[in-house]
Amino acid sequence: MKKIYSIILTTVVCLAGFAACTHDYPVGPMARNISLNPDAVQAPADGQTYDVAVTADGAWVADTPDWITVKPASGEGGQTVKVIVAPNNDAERTDKVKFYSAVGDVIITDITLESTPLAELAVIQAAGESQGGGGEEQTISIADYLALGPNTDTYIITGAITRVVNTSYGNFDLTDETGTIYVWGLLNEDLEAQKCWKDKGLAMGDVLTVKVNEMKLYNGEPEIVNAVYISHTKSLFDLEEDSVTVGKEGGAFDINAVVKGNDVKADYEADWITFKGAEKDGENVTLHFEAAGNPGSPRNTVITLSTTTDKGETSTVEFTVNQDGSIIDATVAEILAAEDDPLVLYRVTGFISKVTNLSKGRIYITDYTGTVYAFGTRVNEASDASIDLATLGLAEGDIVTIVGYKTTYVSGSNSTIEIVGYVDGFTKVESVTVEQFLAKEVSAEKWYRLTGIVTKPNAEETAAGNKFDLNQYGNFRLVDETGRVYVFGVLTGYGQPNNKLFSSLGVAEGNEITIVGNRAEFKGAPQVGKAWYVSHKEVTPPEEPEDPGNVATITDAQLPTAYPAEESTFTEGGYEYTFFKVANYGNGIQIQGKQNAYLYNKTAMPSEIKTITITGHPSKDYYPENLKIFAGSAVNPAGEALTGTLDESGKVHTFAVPAGCTYFKILNDTKYAVYLESIKVAL
């Protein structure tokens, strides 16, 4: 139900509150039948006053648009009222004066209107002269302008400033009797920005005439871009503030205004707002209200204030009441499925899966249910949207909590679901190698991101109780080029409450996986705890080569899982080899860079070496220029490196060896590591 409060300012001065004032008109039972004579008038552009006979069987009140005044505006039974139509300087306009059944105090009228009026007076007024200065531009109502859609045509629009967003650039709502449109930027006569509002002394409620040259859509909503000031008329209202925010527990609030009219009408539809009285001292008026407690989501309402002078001049302003509410904890999927509503706030936690623009707060948030785009994210609830999220040190992979509302951005045939809000908390996630992870202290509060190959625990680890399970929990050994660590359970995504769904990810032995987890221990042995899944991909495993009798083949089978600190040896195929900084981290034969790493045969081959074939690891790029191959008749040969030939795949590198050579050496003296599948020495 709609609420109207009519406060007569000129009859009595009541500093203690209008509730103590006397009635101007009798109060009786609610009218059930109302008729009007005439029930329609057609007014000229310069305005007119009409006598209208009201016949009623009880108390009534008239509700009018801002360009029509009824005196008296309420009464009981039959009487004649004055209907005053203000001058019109714009397009033809049409509206109705609606007469409702009501009961109340006409000095301070607290009226609950019926859902429909009992009688209506139709008013049609002719168009006035153009305010465009010479008539070159067409004057248009806001409703007609909105009906045009995005355009760059020039028009003249007049309306009241009903909401102020930014007084530097001049961002505000412009309202006439047909509708409201947002103005983004107001220029002065010299087309200068950031000067007009202050220089002209504009304020909410002023009636403003502007020239408009462009209307566009922003987030699907129409707005005027850079309107040009023509003229304005000061409002009969001067509000001290145009909005208030009330806590979710409710409470009292006031509207303070300087009013130059005879009365004040407060009109709104929120049943959680109650009018509590008013005070007047000259032109200074204070209206007292109270908001009820809010058990649900944040909400707001607009109180429309209007006043009229003896000459029929009217002014209307809007006062916004915002009330805090509860924040709904939600998953990404729940936000994606929710209705667009700027008054419903959600709290969602996930990791930053993609950064679009940190300086503008544009990031993607992912949890186990999905991904949502966070647009214009502020660093905290009180901050300006322009503050860079990088000031928090946030980066891709970090865990973040966002509080905001769900909206949908539409551009042509494309749409993007967004959450618009602020950072409510975050946790840094450090990307580390296995070696770095093992060096971290045990902590359930710190998070680390690791990438490696899914492998089975070895015999020693299995004996210690480390199981291999890819069906439910996700227990496996993770290996990278720096080491290996046991992973005890992996959730399917951030926030996943069920830890028995690992098989749904499709991760197999030998895949490369990325996870985030804590540094944990079990019986003194290190492991990754509380881990959750980020991504995985298939890696082609190396094929087991066949060893003909005249070929000596070296694979990673005998290599250690970490680079030895000193020169070491191993035996494979009956031959002893010496190596330095060569190991197997799960990527085959890895020859470290920056250390002059090498491998050569310590035992002479039984016959001359014909060719040496090096095959790059299938999951790594092979750079032939990073290796030097030597051959000779003595152990650890040096001298001039051999020249090889690459096959079409770019992975198989074959070197022809001069006669008489029974020893070879492979050297990496670059700063980059080399990954090999095998080394074959053909005799």
Q: What is the DSSP string of 409-465?
A: EEETTEEEEEEEEEEEEEE-EEE--HHHHHTSPPEEEEEEEEEEEEE---HHHHHTT
CB-count burial class (<10 Å; 0-12, 13-18, 19+) for 242: middle
pLDDT at 543 > cutoff 80: no
Strand, helix or coil for residue 325: coil
Write the DSSP assignment of 517-580 as a string of letters: EEEEEETTEEEEEEEEEEEEE--PPPPPPP--TTEEEE-STT--SS--SS-EEEEETTEEEEEE
Domains and CATH numbers, the chain: 1-129+237-321 (2.60.40.10), 138-233 (2.40.50.140), 328-427 (2.40.50.200), 431-537 (2.40.50.200), 551-682 (2.60.120)
H/E stretch holding 476: strand 475-480
Task: Output the average pLDDT for the chain.
Answer: 86
Query: Among residues 205, 245, 230, which one has the least CA distance to residue 132?
Result: 230
Question: pTM of the full predicted structure?
Answer: 0.44
Number of H helices, E strands in the chain: 5, 51
- Decide if 243 contacts 303 (C-beta within 8 A): no
What are 463-483's pLDDT values in tens digits?
777 889 898 899 999 999 899
pLDDT at 580: 94
Which residues lie across from 644 on neighbouring strands?
655
Q: What percentage of the chain exceeds 90 in pLDDT?
A: 52
- Decide if 367 contacts 348 (C-beta within 8 A): yes
For residues 418-436, give the mean pLDDT: 94
Task: Report the alpha-carbon distance of residue 283 to residue 100 in Å, rounded.
Answer: 30
- Decide if 174 contacts 210 (C-beta within 8 A): yes
- HSE-CB of 344 using CA atoms within 13 angstroms: 12
Query: Among residues 597, 600, 579, which one has the least CA distance to residue 669?
Result: 597
Burial 335-367 (b: 16+ CB within 10 A, else e): beebeeeeebbbbbbbbbbebeebeebbbbbbb
Task: Report the alpha-carbon distance of residue 291 to residue 285 in Å, rounded.
Answer: 20
Residue type at position 292: A
Which residues lie across from 522 on neighbouring strands?
525
Q: What share of the chain is helix, strand, coil (3-state, %, to 5)?
A: 5, 50, 45
Q: What is the DSSP letter of 612?
A: E
pLDDT at 541: 61
Stronger pLDDT, 136 or 339, i.e. the higher one: 339
Return phi, psi of residue 145, to 5°: -65, -40
CB-count burial class (<10 Å; 0-12, 13-18, 19+) for 441: exposed
> Which stretches of 585-662 are assigned E, i.e. beta strand?
589-591, 597-601, 611-616, 628-632, 644-646, 652-656
Which residues lie across from 303 on neighbouring strands?
319
What are 104-113's pLDDT values in tens digits?
443 444 444 5
For residues 477-505, give the mean pLDDT: 91
How far from chain centre, in Å, is Cα 35? 54
CB-count burial class (<10 Å; 0-12, 13-18, 19+) for 77: middle
Stronger pLDDT, 295 or 669, i.e. the higher one: 669
Task: Report the alpha-carbon distance of residue 163 to residue 241 in Å, rounded.
Answer: 11
Strand, helix or coil for residue 391: helix
What is the DSSP pairing of strand 207-212 with strand 221-233? antiparallel
Rg for the chain, CA atoms, rounded? 40
Task: Report the alpha-carbon distance of residue 146 to residue 144 in Å, rounded.
Answer: 5
pLDDT at 269: 86
Angle at 433 between CA 431 and CA 436, to 5 degrees: 95
Task: Report the alpha-carbon distance of residue 102 to residue 436 in Å, rounded.
Answer: 77
What are 442-464's pLDDT values in tens digits?
999 999 999 999 998 876 677 77
- CA distances from residue 368 to 345, 365, 566 in whole angstroms, order as listed: 20, 10, 46
Considering only 259-263, 311-315, 557-561, 583-587, which range has the smallest mean pLDDT?
311-315
What are 252-276's pLDDT values in tens digits?
999 999 888 888 888 888 889 998 8
What are 601-652's pLDDT values in tens digits?
999 998 999 999 999 998 888 888 999 999 999 999 999 999 999 888 889 9
Task: Report the alpha-carbon distance of residue 289 to residue 277 in Å, rounded.
Answer: 7
What are 230-252's pLDDT values in tens digits?
988 888 888 888 899 998 889 99
- Whether residue 38 is preceded by a cis peptide bond, meaning omega within 30 degrees of 0, is yes
Structure tokens at 610: 């014909």
- Decide if 283 contacts 13 (C-beta within 8 A): no
pLDDT at 322: 92
- CA distances from residue 29 to 2, 33, 119 in whole angstroms, order as listed: 19, 12, 17
> Which stretches of 64-154 are assigned E, i.e. beta strand?
68-71, 74-76, 79-85, 93-101, 111-112, 119-125, 138-139
Stronger pLDDT, 617 or 548, i.e. the higher one: 617
For residues 21-34, give the mean pLDDT: 57
- Decide if 421 contacts 365 (C-beta within 8 A): no
496 conformational bin, left if phi > 0, alpha if psi -120 to 50, beta if neither: beta
Structure tokens at 239: 């509000």
HEC string for 159-185: EEEEEEEECCCCEEEEEECCEEEEEEE
- Decide if 85 contacts 48 (C-beta within 8 A): yes
CB-count burial class (<10 Å; 0-12, 13-18, 19+) for 406: buried
pLDDT at 352: 95
Q: Which residues contact 83 (CB under 8 A, 6 or more apart)?
A: 41, 49, 50, 51, 52, 68, 69, 70, 97, 121, 123
pLDDT at 519: 96
Structure tokens at 570: 């191993």
pLDDT at 682 > cutoff 50: yes
Q: How confident is the model at residue 13 (pLDDT cuts 50, 70, 90)?
A: very low
pLDDT at 106: 38
- HSE-CB of 79 using CA atoms within 13 angstroms: 18
pLDDT at 27 > cutoff 50: no
Query: How many Cβ atoms sit within 10 Å of the Cβ of residue 153?
Result: 13
pLDDT at 489 > cutoff 70: yes
Which residues lie across from 203 on neighbouring strands?
none
